[in-house]
Amino acid sequence: MESPATDGQTEPGVATWKVELFVSVLLLLFGALIAWKSWELGAGWRDDGPGAGYFPFYIGLLLCLASAVITVRTFMTGARDDRVFASHAQLRQVLTVLVPSLLFVVLAQFLGLYVASFLFIAAFMVWVGHYRWVRSLLVSLGVAVVAFLMFEVWFKVPLFKGTLDPLRFLGF
Amino acid sequence: MAEIHSLLHGFAVVLTPFNLMLMMLGIVLGVIIGVLPGLGGANGVAILLPLTFSMPPTSAIILLSCIYWGALFGGAITSVLFNIPGEPWSVATTFDGYPMAQQGRAGEALTAAFTSSFVGAFFAVLMITFLAPLVAKFALKFGPPEFFAVYLLTFCSFVGMGKGSPMKILASMMIGFALAAVGMDTVTGQLRLTFGFPDLMRGFDFLIAVIGLFGIGEILLSMEEGLQFQGKTARINTKVVIETWKKLPAYWMTSLRSTLIGIWMGITPGGATPASFMSYGMAKKMSPRGANFGKGEIEGVIAPETAAHAAGTSALLPMLALGIPGSPTAAVLLGGLLIWGLQPGPLLFVEKPDFVWGLVASMYLGNIAGLIVVLTSVPLFASILRVPFAIIAPVIIAICAIGAYTVHNAMLDVWFMMGFGVIGYVFKKLDYPLAPLVLAVVLGDRAEDSFRQAMLLSQGSLTILWSNWLVGSITTLALLLLVWPFIARALQMLKGMAGGSNAAARSTAEHR
């Protein structure tokens, strides 16, 4: 996915037209999948009215149409967008927040949303923000406790405690 | 003057200590949401929606709609002080607001922005008060074909009036419809597009989509820009406010024009963002000081702010009267109505007058309260943005995850939210609009139901969409709007041939 800097000024990164092409082809496949699945369900007229696939079938077709036009346009020479979609440095920035977030969701499966949020915020502050441990722990503990009070105690909306449920001892 | 009577009744509903407290809470939360990157009106309301499940519906909608007003006000603060639009509709406010702040006129710019917001909203609420009951009464006669025609109009006007590539708008909308179709089909009971996953039987909830697309997507975007908030400071005191207020009446024409643009764009689902740009562009063209725009002209703050707030407010008219929201936030509020057990649409005015008029009354009070709150506490809200992003980002992501979980008490939704976040990031960068996607997820099932009912009535013939003058004219209007980009291009070419190179040169200049 490496693309040469087109005008010598921009940072190296992923070219917009490549991402554009990738997305539009993906949408084309998605549209085709919807149309096909809806066809299987029955996109025609049944004795009691339009079948379950009637409406989504045309939705799929329209998605195919729109993404096909976008795909063709991406190929056309005049419209090729050589600008940088995101430079490598930018993508790294995005990943520094995306990867920990995904880990956070994984963690939440086991430890529940409160404990996972606490760990996530503290870890993010220490590793990405370069804060000292004490400060990070205090901030993240504060957020988790406020969330706990707000959801469990005041609004009586129970949140996910995780399969391991480390907060069992609180009795909620 | 039945409306006035109903409105007074609405005020009586709102003026309880509990509701007033919720109103203030909503405004303050809303401004905070509007100031923070990654939290906006739509996903802020979506995240807090589950907290209102146990409240009476009237109190719940007061809280949520006040968050919306607050967010509309809050967007202006970051635009003027930090040159960062907190909300998409305040992008145009940065053009002149930030230069004013650089010149040390931040207080003036903010006062102008807040006051114009208030003016825009106020006239939009007045319009809602008198027009919404009429529209609702009219819509009581609607059958399935008429409703489908109105849905068609909504979606066609997105394609026709939207900025950017019509094909991308169409694609984004169809993704929304496809997501809405996932799950159990209400008519036949068949499972659609679930690919054998039992968890998909419920379908995709649009709240998850909203939180992911707007919340996580926005965080990823802000992270990419590596935001370092370097802001101007502002002190607003009574003197600045009075001085600015003395200047404002001179711009009544701009205000009026912007209000009308805003109201029009709000009712048709153009939304606040294009309204603010359109209004800024018009003001620049028509103002005698047009050349100064972009260098710190107060009129350049008034125009977009008035229009954005007028549009944001009037987006609630079709939501209330027809059950068809005019903006993503209105769509979230509509989702709230369904959850609280209220059926949005024309019957709401007949069956739940307390709710409707309580909401309308709260719009008046909420905007007054909002104006007072923001004028008095700007420094406080501005200081939120000085909290480093390394703290804000994980906190907002955690809040989004909690919000996504509470919608259905399902961790799977949190995963979907992250997925929507990545989609939101990529789509934003490729200029696929997100609003049509969200509206299609919200309205998909209802649009489909009305379509199928209409088709049942006509035994599968599309001619039912032209079966009487009412449905016929709505359908025709919808199709006209759909092909409007082509008509506009053709008109321009005709003009270009008639007016020679002059007109052509001007039109290319406008497009730049």
Q: What is the 3-state secondary structure (H, E, C) of B19-34?
A: HHHHHHHHHHHHHHHH
Most distant CA pair in chain A, distance: 70
**Does the beta-carbon distance from A113 to B398 stay under 8 Å?**
yes
Cβ B217 vs Cβ B242: under 8 Å: no
3-state secondary structure of A3: strand
pLDDT of residue B279: 87
pLDDT in tens, B214-242: 889 888 888 887 755 566 666 677 777 88
**Does the beta-carbon distance from A66 to B167 stay under 8 Å?**
yes
- Distance in angstroms (rounded) separating the CA atoms of residues B269 and B468: 25
**Does the beta-carbon distance from B452 to A104 stay under 8 Å?**
no
CB neighbourhood size of B372 (10 A): 14
Element (H, E) at A18: helix A16-42
- Distance in angstroms (rounded) separating the CA atoms of residues B124 and B499: 38
pLDDT of residue A80: 67
For chain A, the structural domain boundaries read 13-82, 88-165
- Side-chain-side CA neighbours of residue B451 (13 Å): 19
* Model confidence band, residue A33 (pLDDT cutoffs 50, 70, 90): very high
- Beta-carbon pairs below 8 A across chains A and B: 179
Structure token digits, residue B341: 């057990």
Q: How far is A161 from chain B (nearest CA, A)?
A: 10
Nearest CA in chain B to A99: B418
**Does the beta-carbon distance from A45 to B460 stay under 8 Å?**
yes
3-state secondary structure of A87: strand
Q: Which of A63, A93, A124 sits opposite B224 (nearest CB)?
A: A93
**Does the beta-carbon distance from B171 to A66 stay under 8 Å?**
yes
CB neighbourhood size of A165 (10 A): 13
Place of tokens 């700007």: B378
Amino acid of residue B226: G
Cβ B116 vs Cβ B302: under 8 Å: yes
Range B473-495 average pLDDT: 85
pLDDT in tens, A1-27: 334 434 444 567 788 888 888 999 999
Those residues whose C-beta lies under 8 Å from the C-beta of residue B318, and which sit 6 or more positions away, are B135, B154, B267, B269, B324, B325, B326, B330
What is residue B199's DSSP assignment?
Answer: G
pLDDT of residue B420: 94
Whether the per-residue pLDDT at B248 is higher than 90: the answer is: no
Q: Does A145 touch chain B (CB under 8 A)?
A: no
Q: Does A137 touch chain B (CB under 8 A)?
A: no
What global pTM score does this model have?
0.83
pLDDT of residue B123: 93
**Does the beta-carbon distance from B456 to A31 stay under 8 Å?**
no
| CA A45 vs CA A42, A59, B18, B456: distances in Å | 8, 16, 53, 10
**Does the beta-carbon distance from B388 to A129 stay under 8 Å?**
yes
Whether the per-residue pLDDT at A97 is higher than 80: the answer is: yes
Range B141-161 average pLDDT: 84
- Chain B residues touching A51 at Cβ < 8 A: 188
Range B442-447 average pLDDT: 83
Selected for mutation to probe chain A from B402, B409, B415 (highest A CB count within 10 Å) is: B402
- Distance in angstroms (rounded) separating the CA atoms of residues B74 and B434: 21
Whether the per-residue pLDDT at B296 is higher than 50: the answer is: yes
Instruction: Give me chain A's average pLDDT, please.
Output: 84
B/e letters for B436-475, b = 16+ CB within 10 Å, e = fewer, are: bbbbbbbbbbbbbbbbbbbbeeeeeeeebbebeeebbebb
pLDDT in tens, B89-111: 778 888 888 888 888 888 888 89
Element (H, E) at B192: strand B191-192
- Chain A residues touching B402 at Cβ < 8 A: 113, 117, 147, 151, 159
Q: Does A157 touch chain B (CB under 8 A)?
A: yes
- Side-chain-side CA neighbours of residue B351 (13 Å): 11
- Chain A residues touching B448 at Cβ < 8 A: 55
State which of A20-29, A144-153, B434-443 shows the largest mean pLDDT.
A20-29
- Chain A residues touching B405 at Cβ < 8 A: 113, 159-160
- Chain A residues touching B394 at Cβ < 8 A: 100, 104, 120-121, 124-125, 140
State which of A26-35, A163-172, B131-140 shows the largest mean pLDDT.
A26-35
Strands (E) across chain A are located at: 13-15, 45-46, 49-50, 84-87
Instruction: Give me chain B's average pLDDT, please.
Output: 83
* Model confidence band, residue B450 (pLDDT cutoffs 50, 70, 90): confident
Element (H, E) at B191: strand B191-192
Percent of chain B, pLDDT > 90? Answer: 12
pLDDT of residue B170: 92
Selected for mutation to probe chain A from B36, B159, B184, B188 (highest A CB count within 10 Å) is: B188
Those residues whose C-beta lies under 8 Å from the C-beta of residue B204, and which sit 6 or more positions away, are B179, B180, B182, B183, B416, B441
Cβ B441 vs Cβ B232: under 8 Å: no
Which residues does residue A140 pair with via DSSP β-bridges, in sequence order?
none
Cβ B192 vs Cβ A55: under 8 Å: no
* Model confidence band, residue B202 (pLDDT cutoffs 50, 70, 90): confident
Q: What are phi and psi of B449, to 5 degrees?
A: -60, -45
